[in-house]
Amino acid sequence: MFEKIALVGIGLIGSSIARGVKAKGLAKATAISTRKQETLAEAEALGLGDIYTLDAAEAVRGADLVILCTPIGAYEAVMDTIAPALEVGAILSDVGSVKGHVHRVLAPKVPRGVHFVPGHPMAGTEHSGPAAGFAELFENRWCMLTPEAGEDRGAVERVIAFWEALGSNVELMDATHHDLVVAITSHVPHLIAYNIVGTADDLESVTKSEVIKFSAGGFRDFTRIAASDPVMWRDVFLTNREAVLEMLGRFLEDLSMLQRAVRMGDGPALESLFTRTRAIRRSIIEAGQETEAPDFGRQHGSAPGE
Amino acid sequence: MFEKIALVGIGLIGSSIARGVKAKGLAKATAISTRKQETLAEAEALGLGDIYTLDAAEAVRGADLVILCTPIGAYEAVMDTIAPALEVGAILSDVGSVKGHVHRVLAPKVPRGVHFVPGHPMAGTEHSGPAAGFAELFENRWCMLTPEAGEDRGAVERVIAFWEALGSNVELMDATHHDLVVAITSHVPHLIAYNIVGTADDLESVTKSEVIKFSAGGFRDFTRIAASDPVMWRDVFLTNREAVLEMLGRFLEDLSMLQRAVRMGDGPALESLFTRTRAIRRSIIEAGQETEAPDFGRQHGSAPGE
């Protein structure tokens, strides 16, 4: 499908792409570049690519598809390094969770003749680093692409075909709308999860040991996404501020009403909300975006640590 | 271990106890009582017990262990029905998620000579009803017991042995402290999950279909506990109001600071919180209260609906 794919950044997402490319034979060669020698050595030991280099410009030279897989905060510096080495006709893409910022920062620096097709695979786990990736990560997940209206249709089609080959469903979307969608489906959920885990960690009336022991009552569900990569998520909140604050405002308005229902002992209001929210999970399961198994399919009765 | 166990209420928890009792041989007979004929017939079809009756008083007659497994809001009415039929020397227990309220409402109605040992197994799934239960639900989970200080030691020991036989670890705790612990580890997490699922359902700028499609970015984790039994959870918030409002207040204070960090673009504050919260998940995994598998061990690459 491609002659040479260059992956700049090789964490969970980058390494999962590398494995998928290899498993499906999507490129003659994969070049991997990352900032730290240690991470590069790990990627090489895992056999993720064909070319390994600390020099991003070297990685992208001759590549017909370049995908930025670093935290978003590093994009500008990476772009300054690679721009002179990008080939005419090459496609530049990325996997960042925020798209408006990516367009604002990168688009002015994309050389003439290079196609710019930003992307965002809605997939991940709470683990980070090259060893955490796996080829099936994108299967049956959605990948959103946010090319500008005038972008070369052929280039967009090639990126669509690439993600479909990795098992994803692809949706084209305006960057600003994308950022609103992920603010409610991903960014605010992460913010709230990080927040309650922090609150529980800070209490003096309930000990940390009690929080840990009795976490199976619901709390532990939040700790999964609150264990996601700190730098990646810092950059998400630094670059999608407006949409996050808007959705957080809606969440807080609703929470004030719910707090009032608890204070007033308004049973019908509570039961009505709790009944309505059941239906959404059912829809997500029917859409193939969630497991039907109880408790996420967690194993029950397993020994400690298993 | 017991001659006759009476389970009043046969939902997820009651039916899991019934299956555990049968699997481990903990009683010569299990009597099952519930309010609805339909549910009782379902329990009988599943072969969960030995005696099935719509009359709770009949179920508890001759029982040496009685466990209330209905939503907490039904306790007072159930108690008025069963009190005259409770045997001297019998143990009365329950599985309610709030304990202060249970002591306030039930303790004055417990007949002389009946031992009162309230309990709360920290276990569950998002599914409800007799068919949703399974014998392993309590394995490696904590069960909290909140008997009053003067309660008969032998009776308390028998209840401890019962939960240990079902695979649980048991902790004795003061009812008021219990209610604070579960407010942060279970009740506020549920409230927040219900709230964000409601918020997402109400948006007009992002469609419901988009929320469902792109839920794998984090949102779907919240939908699991927001799919829990509406009546049970209504009663939790009606009966543990003070502790919930206190913990929710702490959560909201912290969220205001985090909201400010996003608004100000305070990267170091964000990264510092996001790093700290990772450690808590690690501790929960080490304590055997959570799976180590990425993404809760969800299957990746499965077809829609699987």
Angle between helices B188-202 and A241-264 (to 10 degrees): 120
Q: Is the pLDDT of residue A305 over 70?
A: no
End-to-end Cα distance, chain A: 41
Distance from CA of A148 to the nearest CA of B (A): 20
In this complex, the residue of B126, B262, B271 whose CB is nearest that of residue A241 is B262
Instruction: Find the length of chain A.
Output: 306
- The string of DSSP letters for A32-88 reads EE-S-HHHHHHHHHTT--SEEES-HHHHHTT-SEEEE-S-GGGHHHHHHHHGGGPPT
Answer yes or no: is pLDDT of A302 > 60: no
Interface probe, candidates A223, A238, A253, chain B, greatest B C-beta count within 10 A:
A223
A15-49, pLDDT tens digit by residue? 999 999 999 999 999 999 999 999 999 999 999 99
Local structure of B206: helix, strand or coil: coil
Q: Do the beta carbons of residue B277 and residue A227 sit within 8 Å?
A: yes
Burial degree of A34 (CB within 10 A; 0-12, 13-18, 19+):
buried
Query: Which pairs from B46-49 meet CB under 8 Å and 24+ separation?
Result: B46/B15, B46/B130, B46/B131, B48/B10, B48/B15, B48/B18, B48/B19, B48/B22, B48/B130, B48/B133, B49/B7, B49/B18
Residue B285 has pLDDT above 50, yes or no: yes
pLDDT of residue B303: 42
Neighbours of B19 (CB within 10 A): 22
Q: Are B3 and B27 in contact (CB under 8 A)?
A: yes
Is the per-residue pLDDT at B301 higher than 80?
no
CATH of domain A2-173: 3.40.50.720
State whether the Cα torsion B282-B286-B288-B294 is positive or negative: positive
In this prediction, residue B299 carries a pLDDT of 76
The ipTM is: 0.92
Q: Where are the domains of chain B?
A: 2-173, 177-297
Query: Taking 80 as the threshold, does the pLDDT of residue A306 lie above it?
Result: no
Strands B65-68, B2-8: pairing is parallel
Does the pLDDT at position B150 exceed 50?
A: yes
Residue B218: name the closest of A244, A202, A14, A214 by CA: A244
Residue appearing with tokens 């401890």:
B160
Report the SS3 class of residue B158: helix
- Partner residue opposite B296 with nearest CB, options A216, A244, A298: A298
Average pLDDT of chain B to the nearest whole number:
95
pTM: 0.93
Q: Would you state the pLDDT for residue A301?
A: 60
CATH number of B177-297: 1.10.3660.10
B2-173 and B177-297: identical CATH topology: no
Question: If you average pLDDT over residues A102-115, what whole number do you get?
Answer: 97
Res B302 pLDDT > 60: no
What angle do helix axes B241-264 and A188-202 make, rounded to 10 degrees? 120
d(CA A2, CA B93): 67
Q: How many CA atoms are closer than 13 Å to the CA of B121, on its beta-carbon side? A: 28
Q: Which pLDDT band holds residue A299 (cuts at 50, 70, 90)?
A: confident
Mean pLDDT score, A74-87: 98
Contact status, residue B225 vs residue B189, Cβ threshold 8 Å: yes
Q: Which residues contact A129 (CB under 8 A, 6 or more apart)?
A: A11, A12, A15, A39, A42
Integer Rg of chain A from CA: 21
Quick one: tokens of B9?
């209420």
Gap from A113 CA to chain B (nearest CA, Å): 32
Q: Which helix (H) or strand (E) holds B220?
A: helix B219-225
- As a whole number of angstroms, the distance between CA B75 and CA B71 comes to 7
B168-195 tens-digit pLDDT: 999 999 999 999 999 999 999 999 999 9
CB contact under 8 A, B228 and A275: no
Measure B275 CA to nearest chain A CA, in Å.
Answer: 6
Q: Do residues A302 and B291 make contact, with C-beta atoms less than 8 angstroms apart?
A: yes
pLDDT tens digits, A167-195: 999 999 999 999 999 999 999 999 999 99
Strand partners, B94: B68
Contacts B305 to A, Cβ<8 Å: 285-286, 288, 292
Pairing of strands B65-68, B51-53: unpaired
| Mean pLDDT score of chain A | 95
Judged against a pLDDT cut of 50, whether residue A303 lies above it is answered with no
pLDDT value at position B305?
36
How much is the average pLDDT of A150-165?
Answer: 98
Structure tokens at A255: 């929470």
Q: How far is CA A17 from the centre of its chain?
A: 13
pLDDT > 60? residue B101: yes
pLDDT at B306 over 80: no
Asked whether residue A206 carries a pLDDT value surpassing 70, the answer given is yes
Q: How far is B205 from chain A (nearest CA, A)?
A: 8
Among the partner-chain residues B234, B276, B292, the one whose CB lies closest to the CB of A201 is: B276
* Sign of the torsion formed by the C-alpha atoms of A14, A20, A26 and A27: positive
What pLDDT does B108 receive?
97
Are B219 and A189 spatial neighbours (Cβ–Cβ below 8 Å)?
yes
